[in-house]
Structure 1
Amino acid sequence: MPEKKRVLPKPGSPELSVLATESHRVLYKFLYERRNDPPTMREIRAHVADVLGEALSQTDRRVRDLRDHFEVLAVRSGAEHRYRLEGWSKVKKAGSRKALSRRVRAEVLSPKRCAQCGRTPLDHGVVLDVDHKVPREWGGNDELDNLQPLCVECNSGKKDFYATYDAYAAEIRAASAHVEPHGRIGELLKAFRGDWAPSSLIGVVASMQQYQEDWQRRLRELRLLGWKISSKKERDPITGRINTWYRAEAWTPWPSGTIRAEVDRLAPYTKRGRS
């Protein structure tokens, strides 16, 4: 028997006791009332700052926390994204999200420099925050090798960019679980169902279990397995930079053994066929 869909609770409902603080409930109420006219992140930040006086980094964290219980989709609208409250989260949560300990925060922030822009609190007056390289929503954990110091501005920009792909969060999480980089790349391309995937996102997913310096080579090697992959260069509407985009137009089932072994087996044969 199909599971009955849970209706979104109205603001003030006892069901909202799952939200940790009044700040979360203020955010929920704003998104609930704007369901037919979803706000941009700028509008969300302005509203929360006006009501509660919270810093931008705190507002971004509240949005992430809200996704522990509710589905909040980022829908592109021109150059920005609008955040639409859809319903209860379809992903089962193991429990409340645990805050990082003060010791871990101190260790991550000890370089005293933003890992993205290089600015420091002393020289540039920036505020540093702990960032998850791979977001928790995409399967990232709280291990030290998944944490880095980012200034509030870079952290906010990164989260806005990643939120572009929140609609694919379940697929990204599934792709990240594949033990081989070829598999992670391939599963991500399949998840886009023929749409273009940016190289910046592919690189992140490819390196989720271990860093891949040459993930582009892994992607090219998928063609040895019979995959048809096309590419294009285009300006990213979010970052403004020229990015390479990839699309899987056709693919084959994964081999029964390891993908690496099958690629190595086919590579010499392919080279001989070209000579």
Structure 2
Amino acid sequence: MPKVQDRRLPEPDSPEIRQLFPLESVRQLYGFLYERRDSPPTTEEIHAFVADLFGPQSEAIRRLRSIRDCFVVQRTQTGRIHRYRLLGWKADAPDAMRGTLSRATRARILAPQRCAQCGRTPLGDEVKLHIDHKIPISWGGEDDDDNLQPLCEECNLGKRDFYATYDSHSAAIRNATRQDEPHGRIGELLKALEGEWVPSDLISIVASMRQYQDDWQRRLRELKDLGWVYHNRVTWPAGSRRALSEYRLVKWTPWPEGSIRSAIEEGKSRKRAREDD
């Protein structure tokens, strides 16, 4: 179970909760868990609570995962009954009040009136837009405009669920995002997880964090020009129709002074010159 901070839980209607959870459904579920701390609700009670408010198709567990991004929710089992107790802040939870967005910022980011991921609009498709951090705050993201984008509720929740599968690597990701160049972000991620098999999906996410990379595999291959060595494997997880590609770092060298890309290009030029001779 994650470590719990010695920090008071915020009230359900507090500015902290509104900043952490833009979605009303997540805030309502947090309030339900908060009020039931002394008598933790069961899985069935959580599903019933969310369904009563937002309809039978609402995904209660998805909302619960969003809460677990910031708070420790302990699950206990008695026979076949599971209960969920809200304990406190996670040890690595982001500071929700670190950068509350101004009304001007919110208006500026939402001005395109279109989801940056699926393209749907409030007027044409009746979707509600929310402000998303491209790099999550828990992964080192900031509140500057370059890291903000409008997403509809469905895309926002989907992205959170996808990214949440890699939260166990948040410290490594946070360190990698400090690198300005994609080679550096990829390399620092592999270094932090040296000896482990790193999924290609995670490498792709980290490579594109500051600017989208349509060919991150090439950036990865170019690390070999700096003397880096890594292995690659492809497996087929049980029950999946999609192959899983992973990379494991074997050897790395210190970063060159100045631009990594420039050092790689200079190395390629010297190699071509030797071959021509």
- Quickly name the TM-score band, shorter chain normalised: 0.5 to 0.7
Q: 1:257: how far off?
A: 1.9
Q: 1:235: how far off?
A: 7.3
CA contact (8 A) 1:16 1:25 kept: no
CA contact (8 A) 1:32 1:85 kept: no
Partner residue, 1:141: 142
Residue 256 of structure 2 is aligned to residue 251 of structure 1: no
Identity, % of aligned pairs? 41
**Residue 19 of structure 1 aligns to which amino acid in structure 2?**
P
Equivalent position SS for 2:248: strand
Equivalent position SS for 1:148: strand
**Residue 208 of structure 1 aligns to which amino acid in structure 2?**
M
Q: 1:44: how far off?
A: 10
Partner residue, 2:190: 189
Partner residue, 1:19: 10
CA contact (8 A) 2:50 2:60 kept: no
1:171-199 per-residue CA deviation (whole Å, 9 max, x = no partner) reads 10011112432221111123334444344
In structure 2, C-alpha distance between the alignment counterparts of 1:84 and 1:195, rounded to whole Å: 33
In structure 2, C-alpha distance between the alignment counterparts of 1:84 and 1:161, rounded to whole Å: 24
Q: 1:247: how far off?
A: 0.7
CA contact (8 A) 1:196 1:245 kept: no
After the TM superposition, which residues 147-226 of structure 1 pair with which residues of structure 2 at under 5 Å, given as runs?
Answer: 147-226=148-227
In structure 1, C-alpha distance between the alignment counterparts of 2:168 and 2:72, rounded to whole Å: 9
Q: TM-score, normalised by structure 1?
A: 0.68
Equivalent position SS for 1:122: helix
CA contact (8 A) 2:176 2:185 kept: yes
Question: Which is worse superposed, 140-149 or 102-111?
Answer: 102-111
Q: Which has the larger radius of gyration?
A: 2
Equivalent position SS for 1:100: coil
In the alignment, structure 1 segments of 5+ residues that lack a partner are: 1-5, 10-14, 74-82
Equivalent position SS for 1:208: coil
Q: 1:131: how far off?
A: 0.8
Q: 1:86 to 1:213 in 2, by over 3 A?
A: farther
Q: 1:88 to 1:109 in 2, by over 3 A?
A: closer
Q: 1:63: how far off?
A: 5.8
Q: 1:144: how far off?
A: 1.1
1:108-160 per-residue CA deviation (whole Å, 9 max, x = no partner) reads 11111111111112222211111111111111111111111111111101100
Partner residue, 2:80: none
